[in-house]
Amino acid sequence: MRIRPTLNWEPAGDLPPATTDLTPVVEAVRAGGVVVLSGAGLSTESGIPDYRGEHGSLRRHTPMTYQEFLGGESARQRYWARSQLGRRAMGLARPNGGHRAVTALVRAGLVTGVITQNVDGLQQAAGTPDVVELHGSLDRVVCLDCGAESARAELDRRLRAANPEFEAVAERHRTAQVNPDGDVELPEEAVRGFHVVPCAVCGTGVLKPDVVFFGENVPPERVARCRALVDGADTLLVLGSSLTVMSGLRFVRRAADAGIPVLIVNQGPTRGDRWAAGRVELPLGEALATVVAKTGAGAADGGQ
């Protein structure tokens, strides 16, 4: 199934009203068997903007699509130059209270699975094991020709060696705001002349971050793993996602069709509200700290 590159969604018709009452979420979590589906909103308190919130990155930034990335060397040059700078900013982000709360709920046995749409690795850094990275990770790189996988840190070393002059560019733009996909805005003159390196294994292959771009397929084995988690859940809890793209929304619809309650904690309406038993509109860090306290899950000690 191909994900259509839906970048924005506008509510149509009457959606169920939101509440600030966390009681249904607390009761569901206390009962256990919860599977979490998280989105960019969970990382905003770590300094990474979401896509579609009040200060979302889509207000100033259009993510590169899969088709654009494949379409030409200039697009890949632009992506890797911006990503080279964005990775440094992303590397400064640390797990926040929301990430740590999810870890606490996992360790308490109340959350039995975590699916994240985020590619920043912060949930794993908070100490949560076995996170399913629905959209992949910025920490990995894959060759589109031979399929070899490598660490982004190794590519960083090679790109630095191939672009020694880029350090001056990076210094001039070090305050540029990072986007959820690890990209930053750079003027064209800063990108021009950036050298993209080929795969180190086959010597000629095109390298791509191991993330699902807009317009790209989620690997079927990953989809199957997520379906299995959702099918085995007593409750699906969505945290910080507008559910605009079908890659996440389909699991909400699947749960609702199977009679599995869906609860959403998100600031702003979501595309999944009509299938949800309720949506709580509160800041995630505050809301999840309350859930941890009221369920007796204790504080997580993972992450910094």
Residues 288 and 233 in one domain: yes
pLDDT of 102 > 90? The answer is yes
Q: Tens of pLDDT along 201-210?
A: 999 999 999 9
Residue 89's Cα: distance from chain center in Å? 16
Q: Is residue 5 part of a domain?
A: no
pLDDT of 260 > 80? The answer is yes
Percentage of the residues of the chain whose pLDDT score is greater than 90: 67
Q: Tens of pLDDT along 167-218?
A: 777 677 665 666 666 677 777 777 888 999 999 999 999 999 999 998 899 9
Residue 264 has a pLDDT of 98
Residues 253 and 274 in one domain: yes
Instruction: Name the phi and psi angles at 208, rounded to 5.
Output: -135, 145
Burial of 55 (0-12, 13-18, 19+ CB in 10 A): exposed
Residue 172 has a pLDDT of 73
275: tokens are: 């299938």
CA proximity to 251, closest of 227, 269, 233 = 227
Residue finishing a domain among 211, 245, 265: 211
pLDDT of 5 > 60? The answer is no
Residues 130 and 231 in one domain: yes
Beta bridge mates, 140: 151
Helix (H, G, I), strand (E, B) or coil at 239: strand
Q: Is residue 54 part of a domain?
A: no
Residues 65 and 102 in one domain: no
For residue 220, the domain's CATH number is 3.40.50.1220
The CA distance from 288 to 284, in Å, is: 6
Residue 86 has a pLDDT of 81
The pTM (predicted TM-score) of the whole model is: 0.87
Residues 27 and 172 in one domain: no
Burial of 167 (0-12, 13-18, 19+ CB in 10 A): exposed
Residues 149 and 123 in one domain: no
Contact 191, 74 (CB under 8 A): no
Active-site residues: which are they?
135
Helix (H, G, I), strand (E, B) or coil at 5: coil
pLDDT of 302 > 70? The answer is no
Q: At which residue do the structure tokens 């930034």 appear? A: 61
Domain that holds residue 146: 59-92+138-211
- 149-151 and 132-133 as β-strands: parallel, antiparallel, unpaired? unpaired
End-to-end CA gap in the chain:
38
Number of domains forming the structure of the chain: 2
Residues 160 and 267 in one domain: no
Cβ atoms within 10 A of the Cβ of 269, count? 20
Residue 134's Cα: distance from chain center in Å? 8
Residues 124 and 161 in one domain: no
Percentage of the residues of the chain whose pLDDT score is greater than 70: 85
Q: Is residue 200 part of a domain?
A: yes
Residues 269 and 282 in one domain: yes
